[in-house]
Structure 1
Amino acid sequence: MSSKVVVVGGGVIGSSIAYFLRLSDPSVSVTVIERDPTYARSSSALSAASIRQQFSTPLSIEMSLYGIEFLRTIGERLEIDGTKPSIDLHEGGYLFLATPSGEATLRENHSLQKRLGADITLLDRTALGARFPWLNTDDLSAGAFGESGEGWFDGYGLVQALRKKAQALGARYVADDVTALHREGRRVTHVTTASGETFACDVVVNAAGAWARRVASMAGIELPVYARRRSIFNVSSPAKLGPCPLLIDPTGVYFRPEGTSYICGTSPSPENDPDDLPLDEVDHALFDDVIWPTLAHRVPQFEALRVEHCWSGYYEYNVLDQNAIIGYHPDVDNCIFANGFSGHGLQQGPATGRGVSELILHGRYVTLDLGSLGFDRVLENRPIVEKNVV
């Protein structure tokens, strides 16, 4: 067991790790260093804040199955002095759509999801039109809809609830920027911040999100995780759709309800997706050229749309395979990574926090084995193929 743990980054991943560590063993000293306690630029606060089980790899499905269980019981889990937090969880479901060329993959994924216990219904074209009459199904052949266990929530609220509970359990949060990891041989001995404060550590956890690569480099480690900007648009429309899920078009464009309006977005093309783009420059051309035409095609009532608000946040994008990198580095005995979630951090945060805490406290995973997400696959160039990258 390690008595001093320093976590670099206090977003949903870092705060989940701190929470589970202190919950599991109050004798462990946990210090979380977060340079921006307002979370103004954090991926956790700026994302579309959603959860799904519709993945194509068993581990991603299992992580999100635990994630929804955690979110459903967050009031009891993260209660402080009788006050129960709320994250406004809305299980409106995901709706993945497929053209004939994508139907076989959709069916294959659905079979796996059902086998693992996810509540997903496969709909043919006729059933799609009957259930969602506002949907243009002319070029579709099937869809997969999450009846329960999928939806959206208040991401900022989740981060704050985890942070406050971790603090109530005794985790220390330090508002500072990590400037150095001091390594002696195969171990990081202490962490230094911009203010000059030094923190000795038995274990250091890199949970720095979009800035994880910089932190890893301080220990002489190359991490294939980059900050990739994702723009989100809040739009109003006179459309009357009735019950509406988070819809994923075959093009990758998505939208979901947000109160009386909708939020939407998509990933830019690879040639328009460089690293570290400024967050205060929203990609308006992406909306005009890609998102709006796609939405108007898929939902004819969306021909009348108006952008009310827009913003950008970072994906901590793992360029190897868009899956998380979790676990110890094989060359640095006390350095754990929890990075590269590529848009899945909020929903996989609870399973990651639980798993990393087990790794620290027991030297192994106890509940859900996250071993396949380890750093070895990066060094050996063994990408995990996830077919449902959104």
Structure 2
Amino acid sequence: MSSQVVIVGGGVIGSSIAYFLRGSDPTVSVTVIERDPSYAKSSSALSAASIRQQFSTPLSIQMSLYGIEFLRNIGELLEVDGNKPSIDLHEGGYLFLATPAGDATLRENHALQKSLGAHINLLDQQALKAKFPWLNVEDLVSGAFGESGEGWFDGYGLVQALRKKAQSLGARYVAADVTGLVREGRKVTHVIAGNGERYACDTVVNAAGAWARKIAAMMDIDIPVFARRRSIFNVSSPARLEACPLLIDPTGVYFRPEGKTYICGTSPSADNDPDDLPLDEVDHALFDDVIWPTLAHRVPEFEALRVENCWSGYYEYNVFDHNAIIGYHPQIENCVFANGYSGHGLQQGPATGRGVSELILNGRYVSLDLSSLSWERVLEDRPIVEKNVV
């Protein structure tokens, strides 16, 4: 039983863990050390902030099914002193599109999603054109559309709501960088912060997001999680796309509505995706060479686009298999890792918070078994293959 838990990182993952820990057992002391309380550079605030059930692995689907229920009820769950937070949840759905090359995979994924209770409809080419008349379907054979349970929301609002609720339950937040860890044998006994303080811990949680590798290195652990920059573009267009979802083109380019405008992006090619690129730079060439031509092909009305704003944020990218690493490392008895979400952190945050709190308080998962995301698969070279990587 842990009486003192120190969480490194106060983004959506760390704050969700703090919330569930204090909500489950108010006798547990929880300290969250967050280097950037403004969250100006956090993945939680800079991402495209969306949620889907259209994954190809059962656990990711189940985590997001719980996530959408949490988001739907956030006003009641995270109410503080009568103030109910709102994250402006829009269940506009995801639309994954498939050419002949991707049709079999899309159908296989759809069967799994439906079997687990996700409300995803499979559409052929004719049905796609009927439902989305603005869409160019000439090279498509099918699409999978989330009728409910998928969409987008205010990511910054979510992390603030979790933080405020955790604080109201007694979690302490410290604005500082973590500069070191004190180990005695197979345990971490203290977390050293840049403010000069040492925080004693029975359990330490690495929820440092894009900086997870730095914290793991303090324990002589090599975690395959790297900070990969992703650029997001906010564009305006005279196009008026009725019932527009978050659309995933077969190329990997995505877009979704953002008020009267749209946000869009894609991942760079693997040979042009180095670590730790500066966030104050945006990959404009990626927009000009890849994103805009793809959008204009898929939605002819997008031939006329104007970039209104753009920014970059970090994916905490798990190069091993693009899935989170959650659980204890066999070399360190009292350190729980919750890292490497590869773009899924906001939507999987609630399930992670609940699961990690159960693991710390009970020594096992109670609600949803997250053990397939443990370190063992990494150490034994058993990657989880996710076919729907965005």
Tell whether the structures are fold-level matches, with TM greater than 0.5.
Answer: yes
What are the equivalent positions in structure 2 for 1:89-238 lying under 5 Å apart? 89-238=89-238
What's the offset of the Cα at 1:125? 0.3
Give the corresponding residue for 1:29: 29
Indicate the SS of the match to 1:17.
helix
> What residue in structure 2 maps to residue 288 of structure 1?
288
Q: Deviations over 1:176-200 (max 9, x none)?
A: 0000011111100110011210000
The CA distance in 1 between the partners of 2:260 and 2:251, in whole Å, is: 25
Deviation of 1:80 after TM superposition, in Å, equals 0.6
Paired residue for 1:380?
380
Counterparts of 1:185 and 1:376, CA distance in 2: 21
Distance (Å, rounded) in 1 between the aligned partners of 2:317 and 2:167:
29
User: What residue number does 1:318 align with?
Assistant: 318
SS at match of 1:121: strand
Rounded to whole Å, the distance in 2 between the matches of 1:371 and 1:241 is 42
Deviations 1:91-142 (A, max 9, x none): 0000000000100000000000000000000000000000000000000000
Q: Which AA in structure 2 matches 1:350?
A: P
Percent of counterpart pairs with the same letter? 83
Deviation of 1:264 (Å): 0.1
Give, in whole Å, the separation in 1 of the partners of 2:376 and 2:189. 23
Paired letter, 1:191 = V
C-alpha distance in structure 2 between counterparts of 1:183 and 1:96, whole Å? 47
Partner of 1:244: helix, strand, or coil?
coil
1:358 aligns with 2:348: no
Residue 8 (structure 2) aligns with: 8
Query: What SS does structure 2 have at the residue aligned with 1:385?
Result: coil
CA distance in structure 2 between the aligned counterparts of 1:281 and 1:192, rounded to whole angstroms:
31
In structure 1, runs of 5+ residues without a counterpart are none
Q: Which amino acid aligns with 2:156?
A: Y
CA distance in 1, matches of 2:176, 2:278: 22
Structure 2: 5+ residue stretches without partners: none
* Counterpart for residue 305 of structure 2: 305
> How far does residue 241 in structure 1 lie from its aligned partner after superposition?
1.1
Separation in 2, partners of 1:258, 1:16: 26
- 3-state SS of the aligned residue for 1:56? coil
Distance 1:79 1:195 in 2: 31
What's the offset of the Cα at 1:35?
Answer: 0.6
Deviation at 1:378, TM superposition (A): 1.2
For residue 261 of structure 2, what is the aligned residue in structure 1? 261
Query: Is 1:68 the equivalent of 2:68?
Result: yes
SS of 1:289's equivalent?
Answer: helix
SS of the aligned residue for 2:10 comes to coil
Letter of the structure 1 residue corresponding to residue 202 of structure 2: D
2:81 is aligned to 81
**CA displacement at 1:237 relative to structure 2:** 0.1
- Supply the AA of the counterpart residue of 2:148: S
1:248 corresponds to which residue? 248
TM-score normalized by the length of structure 1: 1.00
Secondary structure of 1:312 counterpart: strand
Give distance in 1, aligned partners of 2:184 and 2:375: 20
SS in 2 for 1:66: helix
> TM-score under structure 2 normalisation?
1.00
CA distance in 2, matches of 1:6, 1:178: 11
SS at match of 1:351: helix
Cα distance in structure 1, aligned partners of 2:245 and 2:315:
23
Q: Secondary structure at the match of 1:353?
A: helix
Q: Counterparts in 2 of 1:327-366, with a 5 A limit?
A: 327-366=327-366
- Cα distance in 1, alignment partners of residues 240 and 336 from structure 2: 48
Give, as a single letter, the amino acid of the residue that structure 2 aligns with 1:30.
V
RMSD over aligned CA atoms reads 0.4
User: Whole-Å Cα distance in 2 between the matches of residues 389 and 33 of structure 1?
Assistant: 30
Deviation at 1:285, TM superposition (A): 0.1
Query: How many corresponding residue pairs?
Result: 390
Give the Cα–Cα distance (whole angstroms) in 2 for the partners of residues 279 and 176 of structure 1: 20
Letter in 2 for 1:305: L
